[in-house]
């Protein structure tokens, strides 16, 4: 139930029959109207972790009693998966020929209120939100997401004439980075929060694009959107938002250094008083081993022995020998250098020599795809590979594996290690970003105090990863009860969105009370 109570405000100069009823939370704050802006969100459309966040955090905020609404471009997939869509406004957006329709509906099992920005010329396309079917960036991405940002601004200023106006706009990643910059120029504006999910993707374009987007001339400056003579969408969020966040405390520290800041570390240091890291959570309704419809057998921390049924089913699905005593490693994610897939390739011979098995799900670099296919074909009794993405299979891998490999070179937050903890699958991760914030390394001290949940390593190379994997293999062959304790310790942690949502709500209130005043 939402943690709200009723406050009765009685006008003393009128009769006691005239009074206002205002809903306030237990901290004395009224519920907020929050517009959550994202370029993707589950279950509408997904390419990565941003979609999971945008699909879950608004639902958690609504559970807390706040009116959080989601806004996305009207991609064909989003139109298909949304519920009860109807047009609620038509807008004239500079630079777009024709009317932009604003559609209203609902998203997902939680019924989160949804707005879709319907500009067919920009969004009614095959492919994913950012790439052509051939895997290249859409050449007009700046125009596409520039239009998206301008429409969000119109909603924020209530120029769409809806019966609802946000107190705060929460923008996410470069695709919405212009929103805080454009809103900052208005006095009667909602507060803004901007979240960096991955600073490696910045939305960089040339000066001609800045002019073509009809952006205010004063925003082209080193204090504004200009970044080494280029237009930077993400800088708009960092330089102008009332508050900036990223998706884990460790990543918030990392991006303020040259190694992870991509040239923006100085600006982030400058705004450090308004910059914080809030760890992502997961949707405990969608990711619940006790009731997951995608898996072979439900289990909990108190019935951990039933997890073995999921292993046997997963081995059968990949055509591997079925034996619950064979240690099974898993990987889910993009097949790219950032994720350390090349490191996994380096240590696969060692894993196979130990007698263990590996299953991998993902797509990405064609060379990595081909290398995994070749190994799977040659060692079909040890390695199973699925090129592509299948949400149900992702759940079954988390439920069936003993260990999860996540050797990322950098990882702002990461979700799969959190899913793994939830499903009693021991994560093996590099000590970086959100991986360092969510996994506690196995060592004599953490085993003694009962806090250990996984295996960490430091150096982003095959030797570092193999050292952690070798420790996991050795630990797996210790008495079975010790592995059970390690796995169920992770399962009993609270990594739900409800916890993270409370931190966001505190930040929202702070942004509303003490807005930032940019110099531009």
Task: Kindly state the DSSP code that residue 30 receives in the 8-state scheme.
Answer: P
Query: Whose CA is closest to 179, among 239, 262, 89, 94?
Result: 239
Query: Whose CA is closest to 125, among 213, 45, 204?
Result: 45
Cβ burial, residue 448 (10 Å; 0-12/13-18/19+): exposed
* Sequence-distant contacts of 344-350: CB under 8 A, at least 24 apart: 344/405, 344/407, 344/465, 345/371, 345/372, 345/375, 346/462, 346/465, 346/466, 347/462, 347/465, 347/466, 347/469, 348/375, 348/383, 350/466, 350/469, 350/470
For residue 274, count other CB atoms closer than 10 A to its CB.
20
How far is it, in rounded angstroms, from Cα 80 to Cα 44? 8
Strands (E), 112-232: 112-118, 168-172, 191-196, 204-205, 226-227, 230-232
Ramachandran angles phi, psi of 406, nearest 5°: -145, 70
Alpha helices in 215-306 (DSSP H): 233-240, 249-254, 258-261, 265-270
Place of tokens 């998206």: 148
How far is it, in rounded angstroms, from Cα 23 to Cα 75? 36
Place of tokens 């055509």: 319
Q: Is 46 part of any known ligand binding site?
A: yes
Place of tokens 């929103």: 179
- Torsion-angle region of residue 214: left (phi > 0), alpha (psi -120 to 50) or beta? left
Task: Kindly state the DSSP code that residue 45 receives in the 8-state scheme.
Answer: B
- Binding site residues for ADP-alpha-D-glucose, as ranges? 46
- Binding site residues, as ranges? 46
């Amino acid at each position: 139930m939402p943690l709200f109570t009723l406050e009765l405000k009685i006008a003393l100069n009128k009769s006691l029959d005239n009074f206002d009823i205002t809903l306030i939370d237990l901290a004395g704050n009224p519920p907020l109207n929050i517009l959550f802006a994202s370029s993707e969100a589950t279950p509408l459309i997904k390419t990565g972790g941003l979609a999971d966040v945008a699909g879950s955090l608004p639902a958690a905020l609504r559970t807390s009693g706040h009116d959080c609404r989601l806004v996305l471009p009207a991609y064909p997939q989003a139109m298909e998966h949304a519920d009860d869509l109807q047009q609620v406004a038509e807008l004239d957006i500079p630079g777009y020929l024709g009317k932009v329709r604003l559609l209203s509906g609902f998203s997902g099992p939680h019924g989160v209120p949804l707005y879709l920005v319907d500009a067919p010329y920009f969004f009614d396309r095959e492919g994913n939100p950012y790439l052509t079917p051939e895997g290249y960036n859409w050449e007009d991405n700046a125009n596409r997401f520039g239009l998206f940002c301008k429409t969000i601004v119109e909603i924020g200023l209530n120029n769409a004439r809806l019966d609802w106006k946000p107190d705060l706009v929460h923008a996410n990643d470069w695709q919405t980075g212009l929103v805080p910059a454009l809103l900052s120029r208005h006095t009667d504006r909602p507060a803004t929060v901007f979240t960096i999910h991955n600073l490696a993707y910045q939305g960089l374009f040339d000066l001609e694009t800045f002019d073509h987007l009809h952006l205010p001339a004063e925003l082209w400056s080193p204090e504004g959107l200009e970044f080494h003579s280029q237009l930077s969408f993400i800088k708009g969020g960092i330089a102008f938002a009332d508050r900036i966040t990223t998706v884990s405390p460790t990543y918030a520290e990392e991006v303020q250094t040259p190694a992870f800041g991509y040239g923006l570390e100085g600006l982030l240091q400058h705004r450090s008083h308004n910059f914080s890291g809030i760890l992502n959570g997961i949707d405990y309704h969608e990711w619940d081993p006790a009731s997951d419809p995608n898996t072979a057998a439900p289990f909990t921390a108190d019935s951990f022995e039933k997890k073995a049924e999921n292993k046997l089913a997963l081995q059968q699905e990949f055509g591997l020998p079925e034996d619950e005593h064979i240690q099974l490693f898993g990987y889910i994610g993009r097949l790219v250098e950032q994720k350390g897939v090349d490191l996994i390739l380096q240590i696969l011979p060692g894993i196979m020599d130990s007698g263990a098995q590996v299953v991998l799900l993902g797509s990405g670099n064609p060379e990595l795809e081909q290398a995994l296919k070749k190994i799977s074909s040659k060692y079909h009794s040890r390695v199973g590979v699925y090129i592509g993405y299948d949400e149900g299979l992702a759940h079954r891998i988390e439920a069936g594996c003993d260990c999860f490999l996540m050797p990322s070179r950098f990882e702002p937050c990461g979700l799969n290690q959190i899913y793994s903890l939830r499903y009693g699958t021991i994560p093996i991760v590099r000590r970086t970003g959100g991986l360092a914030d969510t996994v506690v390394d196995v060592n004599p001290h953490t085993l003694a105090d009962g806090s250990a949940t996984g295996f960490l390593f430091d150096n982003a190379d095959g030797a570092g990863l193999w050292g952690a994997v070798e420790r996991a293999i050795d630990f797996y062959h210790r008495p079975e009860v010790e592995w059970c304790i390690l796995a169920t310790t992770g399962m009993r942690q609270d990594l739900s969105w409800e916890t993270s949502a409370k931190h966001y709500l505190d930040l929202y209130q702070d942004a509303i009370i003490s807005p930032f005043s940019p110099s531009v």
